[in-house]
Amino acid sequence: MMMIPGPFLHRLFLACLLFVSALSSCKRESNADAAFYYWKQTLTLNKAQHQVLDEVAAGKLYLRFFDIKWDDHAGKAHPEAIISFKEPVNTTKLTPVVFITNQTFEKLSLAGVDSLAMQSNTLLQHLAQAQKINYQSVQFDCDWSLGTKDKYFQFLKSFKAISKKQLEATIRLHQVKYQVKTGIPPVDRGILMFYNMGKLSPKPEDPNSIYNPKDAATYISYLPKYGLPLDIALPLFSWSVHIRNGEIIQVYGKIGKKELSNTENFQPAADKNVYKALRSFFTGGVYVKTDDLFKLEETDKALLEQAAIQLAEHLNKKEHKTIIYYEIGNLNISTFKTKDFEEISAHF
């Protein structure tokens, strides 16, 4: 993989900023709302997170209710990681989100699709009623493929007919680029996931897989032609990729710069943001072996701003849209401030 030299990137970035700020005087105000995802299993927000949710998004929350996975043992689809509410939901602006693994539709028969839609709707209603949540739309997140397209789309149609709600579906970049092949889901709005665009790679030298402009560039020119109105999901997360003998073992949100900067355990490797384990030890329930590599892939304000600028250029500014930040449950308040979100959303 070719590396773009640092200073060049930096200059490019500055140039972009100057370009945008020069234009901003004669540009209309942003036409975008902000919102947050919440993806953890137990809903509990600390005071600072509540404050950000209110200030930045006026309480607008996309809450993951459950995942649907395939159980090979039982030979059926079942919900996992069902949300539990540790505190009352004090927002009226809440959209339930359901994540479905693509494997579910690989394994499920076409005949089983309708009853899955029925079960999902019942569970969703049940969970919402218990919390007195009144929702208007439901969002589905599934990285469907050519082989599962028909079943997933049938699921969406069926769910719509049963629930009579507005439906939204997440859209991956490759689904934008190859929309003729992959099809457009039968929903009211799409949410473009503008992250995880690169391949998660065990090679230390490969770029950040969460966002990098080079991978993004191969997709975004197709955006104006996409057949659904789009909201945008942007990343706030960082993670580290655990590599042993050239293979990815796992990805962790909980091992970050702080842990990797501990010089008793790690030393920086030749490539940027890569750390090498100096000994074998446990940390946070993870076992690290001598010579294991950790590749830190971070999102910070500068990266997010770069992503926003690159993306906004290909979107119609007149269309109202929601920018959903992923996600607030693990948000590090010291990295992102209310002002940062306002500045980023203003690009759209």
Give min distance, CB of 207 to other proteins, in A: 20
Give min distance, CB of 325 to other proteins, in A: 28
User: 152 pairs with which residues across the strands?
Assistant: none
Nearer to other proteins, 73 or 225 (CB): 73
Task: Write the burial class of residue 130 (CB in 10 Å: 0-12 exposed, 13-18 middle, 19+ buried).
Answer: exposed
Give min distance, CB of 201 to other proteins, in A: 12
CA 64 to CA 39: how far, in whole Å?
5
Sole residue written with tokens 């039968």: 186
Nearer to other proteins, 18 or 82 (CB): 82
Give min distance, CB of 300 to other proteins, in A: 28
Give min distance, CB of 244 to other proteins, in A: 9
Nearer to other proteins, 224 or 246 (CB): 246
Q: Which two tokens stand for residue 144?
A: 């469907």
Nearer to other proteins, 123 or 251 (CB): 123
CA 98 to CA 141: how far, in whole Å?
6
Find out whether 129 and 121 touch, Cβ atoms under 8 Å. no
Give min distance, CB of 279 to other proteins, in A: 9
Nearer to other proteins, 120 or 170 (CB): 120
Dihedral sign for Cα 4, 8, 10, 16, please. negative
Nearer to other proteins, 127 or 312 (CB): 127
CA 171 to CA 216: how far, in whole Å?
14
Long-range contacts at 126-134 (CB < 8 A, ≥ 24 apart)? 127/65, 127/66, 127/82, 127/83, 127/96, 128/65, 128/96, 130/85, 131/85, 131/88, 131/89, 133/89, 133/94, 133/96, 134/92
Cis peptide before 327 (omega within 30 of 0): yes
Residues at the contact surface with other proteins, assessed by CB under 8 A: 66, 71, 73-74, 76, 78-80, 82, 119, 122-123, 202, 245-247, 280-285, 287, 289
Nearer to other proteins, 249 or 251 (CB): 249
Give min distance, CB of 282 to other proteins, in A: 5
